[in-house]
């Protein structure tokens, strides 16, 4: 394990304890809250290395955490910010970044505005994907929430309008609509995949606009929702086969459509989501235009049962499909993952998860869903079994 | 038939449907700054799930929770339809995405009564038998 990883892990674990004393304090008449979380994992796989970690030899390079501060300036106006840091294999590389930072003015319960850097409401889990303590799983279904591509969708710098509308006996409807710029992490899977394919990325940036609707139905514990998001992504890569000449391109169109549901009743918790990403890449080399379909789709279904206050058991099936794989091997057009998990809640703030992943397929060169040539120089095997243990806490 | 009955009991237990709703065991209280004298179950749920920060009369409100115990459990079951763990997870999902602050939590009916009495806009709950001073009781519509 790198020294950098050890220092990062130690800092993230110490920070909440140090901050605990000032978890909630007053300045004038206003409460200020500080919260933090941290997690450390270990992953061991039988064959393929996963998520840019050296999992075939066992890897502790799975550390992340964040700290936030927030307060209400008035009854209607809140401000806050969170810093997030992760070191998962080569993803993130321990570079702290501003996760969210915004002002939030709530005119009415049915209409508010957030401006700044805001977590993007896309699908069931996009905005909470980093907070492992909120979920049963050590690793979320990677078909829709790949750790590699986190920065593509996690937040935007712009503006949200949001609200909650009572539907009386029909429940309530929460909505969010947004527009802003996306910042894509240079230590993310899309950079690794492009480099592996011989086209390292020089620049990449884009914008996003979209909306999310969540219906809290009158059936206790049942929520249904849908999201639609349009993205732009302009980039310049170099083409190694032609002497590293620059190539620019854009995705036309690029959008995501998602439907999802969540049902919790008693000791049971189920949820699921289906998402279709349409991505048509247009580029031109030596004046010759090219069009590539980089679209994909995925779904997952989960079930979890709370056995005791201290133990929850769960399983999910996650399925990822590549629309038009460039790699013609049969395992390149999909990644299917059957996962089983035991989550132990030591107390309200600290949990340990033990998880097994049984994966079939490895996706396409451009998928950036866990499997890369650079980590698997001897070639990818058709199946991968992975054992993960992850512990985390939050205050 | 007996087997079927046993099966239904097991299923009901698994989905947490065996205990009757115990709204009668809980009294909803508010700071005197809250103009309303009554509140609907939907409004109360909205306040405690942080989707509602004002009542229909315009009063700004903020929820206050007990840390645990029978009154707390009865309130969650009767009005929020969530377990304590699920409510904690829900609040943390808001806190760590910047959408809300963690509500104040207090250890007893006495602490709850004292806090609600002195805090503008506070809405909380105590056991039906408690009569904290300086607060108003909100009737359920």
- pLDDT tens per residue, chain A (395 residues)? 455 555 555 555 555 555 444 477 777 778 899 999 999 999 999 989 999 999 999 999 999 999 999 999 998 999 999 999 999 999 988 889 999 999 999 999 999 999 999 999 999 999 999 999 999 999 999 999 999 999 999 999 999 999 999 998 899 999 999 999 998 888 888 888 888 888 888 888 889 999 999 999 999 899 999 999 999 888 888 877 777 777 777 777 789 999 999 999 889 999 999 999 998 888 877 777 888 888 999 999 999 999 999 999 999 999 999 999 988 999 999 999 999 999 999 998 899 999 999 999 999 988 899 999 889 999 999 999 999 999 999 98
In a domain, A131, yes or no: yes
CA of B42: which chain A residue's CA is closest?
A168
In a domain, A20, yes or no: no
In a domain, A118, yes or no: yes
A89 CB-near residues (< 8 Å, 6+ apart): A51, A52, A53, A54, A59, A61, A62, A375
In a domain, A145, yes or no: yes
C-beta atoms of A82 and B99 within 8 A: no
C-beta atoms of B46 and A128 within 8 A: no
| pLDDT(B133) > 50 | yes
Element (H, E) at A250: strand A245-265
Which pLDDT belongs to residue A3? 54
Which pLDDT belongs to residue B85? 87
CA of B53: which chain A residue's CA is closest?
A109
| Contact indicator for A99, A80 with CB cutoff of 8 Å | no
User: What is the domain range of residue A261?
Assistant: 112-394
A116 by Cβ neighbours in 10 Å (0-12 / 13-18 / 19+) ranks as: buried
Q: How far is B115 from chain A (nearest CA, A)?
A: 14
In a domain, A281, yes or no: yes
Q: How far is B91 from chain A (nearest CA, A)?
A: 10
Q: How far is B23 from chain A (nearest CA, A)?
A: 16
A47 by Cβ neighbours in 10 Å (0-12 / 13-18 / 19+) ranks as: middle
Model confidence at B22, pLDDT cuts 50, 70, 90, reads: low
Alpha-carbon separation of residue B22 from A94, B18, B27, B73 (angstroms) = 50, 12, 11, 9
Residue A266, classed as helix, strand or coil, is: coil
| Contact indicator for B125, B28 with CB cutoff of 8 Å | yes
CA of B50: which chain A residue's CA is closest?
A109
- Residue in this structure with the two tokens 């700054």, named with its chain if needed: B33
What CATH number is given to the structural domain containing A286? Answer: 2.40.160
Which tens digits make up the pLDDT trace of B50-87?
Answer: 999 988 888 889 999 999 888 999 999 889 988 888 89
Report the topology of domain B22-140.
Answer: D-Maltodextrin-Binding Protein; domain 2 (3.40.190)
CA of B88: which chain A residue's CA is closest?
A348
| Contact indicator for A67, A36 with CB cutoff of 8 Å | yes
C-beta atoms of B95 and A70 within 8 A: yes
Residue A102 corresponds to which tokens in the numbers above?
């915004």
A25 CB-near residues (< 8 Å, 6+ apart): A31, A32
Write phi, then psi, for A196 (nearest 5 degrees): -60, -30
Nearest Cα neighbor of A156 from A173, A133, A177 is: A177
Which pLDDT belongs to residue A7? 54
Q: How far is B110 from chain A (nearest CA, A)?
A: 21
Q: Characterize the bridge pairing of strands A201-216 and A222-231.
A: antiparallel
Model confidence at B96, pLDDT cuts 50, 70, 90, reads: very high
Contacts of B53 in chain A (CB under 8 A): 75-76, 106, 109
User: Which residue in the set A68, A109, A265 is minimally distant from B16, CB to CB?
Assistant: A265
| pLDDT(B21) > 50 | no
C-beta atoms of A166 and B15 within 8 A: no
Which pLDDT belongs to residue B111? 94
Domain count of chain A?
A: 1
In a domain, A38, yes or no: no
Residue B131 corresponds to which tokens in the numbers above?
């009569």
| pLDDT(B124) > 90 | yes
Q: How far is A106 from chain B (nearest CA, A)?
A: 9
C-beta atoms of A100 and B97 within 8 A: yes
What is the share, in percent, of chain B residues with pLDDT greater than 90? 51
pTM: 0.87
Residue B80 corresponds to which tokens in the numbers above?
């929020």
In a domain, A71, yes or no: no
Which pLDDT belongs to residue A6? 55
Peptide bond before residue B72 is cis, with ω within 30 degrees of 0: no
| Contact indicator for A246, A235 with CB cutoff of 8 Å | no
C-beta atoms of A264 and B86 within 8 A: yes
Q: Characterize the bridge pairing of strands A97-108 and A111-119.
A: antiparallel
Listed by start position, the domains of chain B span 22-140
CA of A114: which chain B residue's CA is closest?
B99
Nearest Cα neighbor of B54 from B72, B78, B36, B37 is: B36
By residue count, chain B amounts to 141
Which pLDDT belongs to residue B11? 47
């Amino acid at each position: 394990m790198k020294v950098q990883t050890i220092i990062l892990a130690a800092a993230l674990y110490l920070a909440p304890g140090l901050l605990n004393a000032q978890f909630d304090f007053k300045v004038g008449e206003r409460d200020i809250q500080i919260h933090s979380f941290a997690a450390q994992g270990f992953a061991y796989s039988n064959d393929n290395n996963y998520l840019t970690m050296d999992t075939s030899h066992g890897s502790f390079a799975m550390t992340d955490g964040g700290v936030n501060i927030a307060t209400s300036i008035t009854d209607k106006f809140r401000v806050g910010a969170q810093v997030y840091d992760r070191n998962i294999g080569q993803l993130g590389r321990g570079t702290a970044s501003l996760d969210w930072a915004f002002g939030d003015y709530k005119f009415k319960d049915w209409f508010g505005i957030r401006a700044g850097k805001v977590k993007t409401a896309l699908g069931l889990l996009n905005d909470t994907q980093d907070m492992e303590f909120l979920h049963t799983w050590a690793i979320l279904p990677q078909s829709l929430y790949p750790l590699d591509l986190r920065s593509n969708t996690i937040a935007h710098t712009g503006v949200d309008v949001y609200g909650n509308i009572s539907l009386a006996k029909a429940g309530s409807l929460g909505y969010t609509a947004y527009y802003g710029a996306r910042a894509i992490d240079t230590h993310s899977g899309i950079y690794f995949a492009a480099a592996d394919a011989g086209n390292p990325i020089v620049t990449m940036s884009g914008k996003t606009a979209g909306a999310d609707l969540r219906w809290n139905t009158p059936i206790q514990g049942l929520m249904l929702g849908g999201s639609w998001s349009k993205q732009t992504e302009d980039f310049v890569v170099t083409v190694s086969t032609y002497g590293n000449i620059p190539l620019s391109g854009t995705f036309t169109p690029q959008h995501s459509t998602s439907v999802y549901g969540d049902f919790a009743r008693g000791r049971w918790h189920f949820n699921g989501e289906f998402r279709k990403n349409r991505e048509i890449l247009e580029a031109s080399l030596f004046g010759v235009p090219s069009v590539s379909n980089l679209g994909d789709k995925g779904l997952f279904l989960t079930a979890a049962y709370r056995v005791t206050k201290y133990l929850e058991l769960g399983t999910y099936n996650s399925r990822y499909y590549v629309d038009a794989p460039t790699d013609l091997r049969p395992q390149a057009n999909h990644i299917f993952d059957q996962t089983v998990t035991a989550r132990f809640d030591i107390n309200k703030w600290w949990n340990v998860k033990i998880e097994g992943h049984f994966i079939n397929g490895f996706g396409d060169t451009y998928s950036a869903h866990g499997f890369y040539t650079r980590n698997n120089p001897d070639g990818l095997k058709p199946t991968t079994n992975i054992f993960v243990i992850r512990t985390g806490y939050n205050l | 038939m007996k087997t079927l009955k046993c099966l239904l009991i097991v299923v009901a237990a698994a989905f947490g449907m065996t205990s009757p709703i115990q709204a009668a065991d809980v009294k909803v209280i508010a700071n005197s700054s809250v103009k309303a004298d009554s509140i609907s179950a939907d409004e109360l749920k909205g306040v405690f799930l942080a989707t509602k920060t004002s009542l229909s009369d315009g009063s700004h409100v903020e929820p206050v929770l007990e840390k645990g115990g029978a009154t707390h459990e009865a309130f969650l079951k009767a009005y929020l339809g969530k377990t304590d763990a699920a409510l904690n997870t829900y609040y943390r999902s808001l806190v760590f995405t910047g959408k809300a602050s963690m509500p104040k939590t207090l250890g007893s009916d006495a602490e709850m009564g004292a806090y609600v009495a002195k805090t503008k806009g506070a809405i909380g709950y105590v056991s039906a038998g408690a009569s904290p001073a300086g607060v108003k009781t909100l009737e359920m519509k």
